[in-house]
Structure formats: structure tokens, C-alpha cells
Amino acid sequence: MVSQRRLCTFYLDRLWFGIAVERVYEVIRLPAITRIPLAARAVAGLINLRGQIITVIDLRRRLGFEERPAGTMPVNVVARSKDGTVGLLVDEIAEIVEAPESSYEIAPDNLPADRRELVPGVYKLPDSLLHVLDLDKVLGGDGSEAQSGKVLK
């Protein structure tokens, strides 16, 4: 039997990304975000999700992509880090994918070093390349920095 990994997938700047499905709590439309003065550029702000205050990270900014085009509304993927819950702004949600472990490869050397750390590998699927995010590294280590508002230097 071939071992497979289930990933919740989404798009950022026309690239296909995924995180482990067991880390995803829910996907929601973007509620009002409260900005945090002096926060790192990638921190979009805070939201109130049914009484829980959650830090929201803009993955476009975190991964060094251009700003989202004007008039384009992101989607919020609410995920669980080691230390709590965090929101991840993505361009568009995609499907749950079961990727065979045999199609996994280490990230190519042509990626910038800082991005290669956040995207350690890819799945080469028949019609596309699925970039796998290391959620804990995206959040700045173990995730605790994101919960305290000090994420992403």
C-alpha cells in the first residue's frame, strides 16, 4: 500500500501550496481585522473568532510575494500551531489532496534560502507542483511568537 499525506491546499500568487490537513481548524471568509501598531509586516492583525482572539498572518507578505491586487479578498485558513490558533491569509482555497509520499522531493535549490526554509519540499503531481509549507517555521519557530504578536522579525 502506498503511503499518502493529506494536505489542505490553497493558492498564493498563482502557486499551489499546502499544509497538513490535521493542522487546519476551519476556513472562513475574512472578518474585520484589527491592525497591531508596530507589528511585523507579515502580521495582518487580530480577529475575534467566536470570542477567541487570533493573530492573522498574511502569507503573501511572509513569503515575499507582491501585495494582493486591489479589490481581491483573501480567505482565512484558521490553523493550529503548537501553541494555539492562528489565521493565514491566502488568495484562494483549493481542495484536500492526498499526495503519495513517493512524489515528495526536497525543495529545489533555486528557491531563495529564506523561502526554502519555509517551503522545505514539494509534491510532484501529474499536472502541477504542490509546495508544502512548514507551518511552525512560517510562524517564526515554534509558533509562540505568532501568539504573542511578535512573529516574523
pLDDT digits (tens, 9 = 90+) for 4-38: 899 999 999 889 999 999 999 999 988 899 999 99
Give residue 84's pLDDT band: very low, low, confident or very high (50, 70, 90).
confident
Residue 113 Cα distances to 2, 108, 125, angstroms:
31, 10, 24
pLDDT at 86 over 90: yes
- Is it the case that residue 150 has pLDDT exceeding 60? no
Cell numbers standing for residue 8 = 489542505
pLDDT in tens, 40-49: 999 999 999 9
pTM above 0.75, yes or no: yes
For domain 4-139, the CATH architecture is Beta Barrel (2.40)
- Residue 43 contacts residue 145 (beta carbons within 8 Å): no
- The pair phi, psi for residue 56, each rounded to 5°, is -115, 125
Q: Which of 16-25, 61-70, 143-152 has the highest mean pLDDT?
A: 16-25
